[in-house]
C-alpha cells in the first residue's frame, strides 16, 4: 500500500484576535496541522498569556481536531548577531517564545538561524550558544531550525551548516533541536527539486532524516539558485508540480508536518483551501496538470 503525506497537512494561519482564534481557521481549511505566530512577528513587544487564553487555545486545538501545531518565532530575532545588545534582546524574545509555547502546549518553534554579519564561523558559534542557553532555560519545547534561502549573511542555507549548527550545541539540549525545510528556500539555494529524492538522500547523509520534523511547501516565483525568497502557489511557479507530487507520496516523509505558506492575496481562505486540495490530490495520485481553481 502506498503511504501518502497528507496526514499532517495544513497552513500558516492568522492569530489575529488572539492565539485562541487560530485553531478554528485551521478547521475551516480541513487542516490537521497549523503554524502560527504567538505574537506580532515584526515587533519586540512580548504579550503575556492569561490562564483563560491558554485554556481557550488548548480547547480550540482539540475542537478543531488538529494533530500538530507549530509556532514561528519573530522576524526580528538574530541570535548570531555580533552586536551584544541585539543578541541579548533576541535571546530574551526567543526565550519568551519558548515560554509561551510551553504554556500553550505547542511542542516546536520554527526559527530562522541568525545573520552572522562579521564572520561566518563566529556567527555560527554565537547562534548555537544562544539557542542552547534559551533551550536550557525553558524545558519541554524544541526548536526547528529552518533552512534559509542563502541571501546575504544568513546562516543555514546548506545542509552542512544546519548540521554544524546542531552539532555545536551541547548534548543536553541537542535532542530538542530538529529542522524545518522550505521548498522555496531549497530551490533558491540551488538544490534541484526535480531530483527531489536525491535532495532527501543528501539531507539524510549529512544531517539525518529523523531530524526533519517540518516542511514548508511553497512554489517559487524566481529561478533556481537565485538566493531570492519569493513564494508562489504550488504547481504554478518555477518549481512546478512534480516535486510536490513526489513529496506527498514519499513514505519517508509521511509523518512529517507539512505547512503551506503560499500567497493569500485577495482571498486567504479560498487560496489556502485550493492549495491544500491540490496537495491532497497529489497524495492520492491525482491532478496531473496544475489547476488555477
3-state class of 212 per DSSP?
strand
Q: How crowded is residue 118: how many other Cβ atoms within 10 Å of its Cβ? A: 13
Q: How crowded is residue 70: how many other Cβ atoms within 10 Å of its Cβ? A: 23
- Evaluate if residue 83 carries a pLDDT over 70: yes
Q: Hey, where are the domains in the chain?
A: 9-284
- Evaluate if residue 1 carries a pLDDT over 60: no
- Decide if 131 contacts 172 (C-beta within 8 A): no
In DSSP terms, 231 is beta-bridged to 220
In DSSP terms, 72 is beta-bridged to 110
Place 289 in a pLDDT band, splitting at 50, 70 and 90: very low
User: So what's the pLDDT on residue 293?
Assistant: 38
Residue 223: alpha-carbon gap to chain centroid: 21
Which residue, among 191, 186, 189, 197, has the nearest Cα to 251 in the 3D structure?
197
Average pLDDT over residues 276-293: 75
Q: How many helices (H) and strands (E) does the chain have?
A: 10, 10
Average pLDDT over residues 223-239: 98
Q: How far is the C-alpha of 19 from the C-alpha of 58, rounded, in Å?
A: 10
- Decide if 263 contacts 272 (C-beta within 8 A): no
pLDDT tens digits for range 156-181: 999 999 999 999 999 999 999 999 99
Which contiguous run of DSSP H or E holds residue 213?
strand 212-217
- Evaluate if residue 222 carries a pLDDT over 80: yes
Place 5 in a pLDDT band, splitting at 50, 70 and 90: confident
- Evaluate if residue 183 carries a pLDDT over 80: yes
Long-range contacts of 102-106 (CB under 8 A, 24+ apart): 102/138, 102/139, 102/140, 102/141, 103/49, 103/54, 104/19, 104/38, 104/49, 104/54, 104/57, 104/58, 104/69, 104/71, 105/57, 105/58, 105/61, 105/69, 106/38, 106/69, 106/70, 106/71, 106/141
Q: How far is the C-alpha of 2 from the C-alpha of 277, rounded, in Å?
A: 19
State how far the alpha carbon of 293 is from the alpha carbons of 28, 109, 235, 245, 277, in Å: 18, 32, 12, 18, 10
Place 288 in a pLDDT band, splitting at 50, 70 and 90: low
DSSP 8-state assignment for residue 115: B
Which residue, among 282, 210, 203, 215, has the nearest Cα to 242 in the 3D structure?
282
Least confident window among 36-45, 139-148, 153-162, 278-287: 278-287
Average pLDDT over residues 130-140: 98
CATH architecture for the domain at 9-284: Alpha-Beta Barrel (3.20)
Q: Taking all residues of the chain, what is their mean pLDDT, rounded to a whole number?
A: 95
Average pLDDT over residues 210-225: 98
pLDDT tens digits for range 43-65: 999 999 999 999 999 999 999 99
Of the chain, the percentage scoring pLDDT greater than 90 comes to 95
Of the chain, the percentage scoring pLDDT greater than 70 comes to 96
Four-residue CA torsion sign, 129, 118, 72, 177: negative
Place 6 in a pLDDT band, splitting at 50, 70 and 90: confident
- Evaluate if residue 128 carries a pLDDT over 80: yes
pLDDT tens digits for range 236-251: 999 999 999 999 999 9
Amino acid at each position: 500500500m502506498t503511504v501518502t503525506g497528507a496526514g499532517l497537512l495544513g497552513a500558516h494561519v492568522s492569530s489575529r484576535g488572539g492565539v485562541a482564534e487560530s485553531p478554528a481557521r485551521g478547521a475551516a481549511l480541513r487542516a490537521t496541522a497549523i503554524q502560527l505566530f504567538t505574537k506580532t512577528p515584526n515587533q519586540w513587544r512580548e504579550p503575556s498569556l492569561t490562564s483563560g487564553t491558554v485554556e481557550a487555545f488548548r480547547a480550540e486545538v482539540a475542537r478543531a481536531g488538529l494533530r500538530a501545531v507549530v509556532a514561528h518565532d519573530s522576524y526580528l530575532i538574530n541570535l548570531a548577531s555580533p552586536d551584544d545588545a541585539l543578541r541579548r534582546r533576541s535571546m530574551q524574545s526567543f526565550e519568551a517564545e519558548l515560554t509561551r509555547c510551553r504554556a500553550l502546549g505547542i511542542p516546536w518553534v520554527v526559527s530562522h538561524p541568525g545573520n552572522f554579519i562579521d564572520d561566518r564561523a563566529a556567527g555560527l558559534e554565537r547562534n548555537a550558544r544562544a539557542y542552547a542557553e534559551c533551550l536550557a532555560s525553558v524545558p519541554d519545547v524544541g526548536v526547528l531550525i529552518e533552512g534559509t534561502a542563502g541571501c546575504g549573511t544568513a546562516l543555514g542555507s546548506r545542509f552542512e551548516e544546519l548540521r554544524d549548527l546542531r552539532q555545536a550545541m551541547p548534548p543536553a539540549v541537542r535532542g530538542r533541536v530538529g529542522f524545518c525545510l522550505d521548498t522555496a528556500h531549497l530551490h533558491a539555494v540551488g538544490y534541484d527539486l526535480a531530483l527531489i529524492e536525491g535532495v532527501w538522500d543528501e539531507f539524510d547523509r549529512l544531517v539525518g532524516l529523523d531530524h526533519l520534523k517540518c516542511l514548508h511547501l511553497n512554489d517559487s516565483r524566481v529561478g533556481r539558485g537565485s538566493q531570492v525568497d519569493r513564494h508562489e502557489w504550488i504547481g504554478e511557479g518555477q518549481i512546478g508540480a512534480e516535486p510536490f507530487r513526489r513529496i506527498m507520496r514519499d513514505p519517508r516523509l509521511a509523518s512529517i508536518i507539512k505547512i503551506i505558506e503560499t500567497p493569500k492575496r485577495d482571498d486567504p481562505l479560498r487560496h489556502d483551501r485550493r492549495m491544500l486540495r491540490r496537495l491532497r490530490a497529489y497524495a492520492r495520485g491525482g491532478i496531473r496538470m496544475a489547476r488555477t481553481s
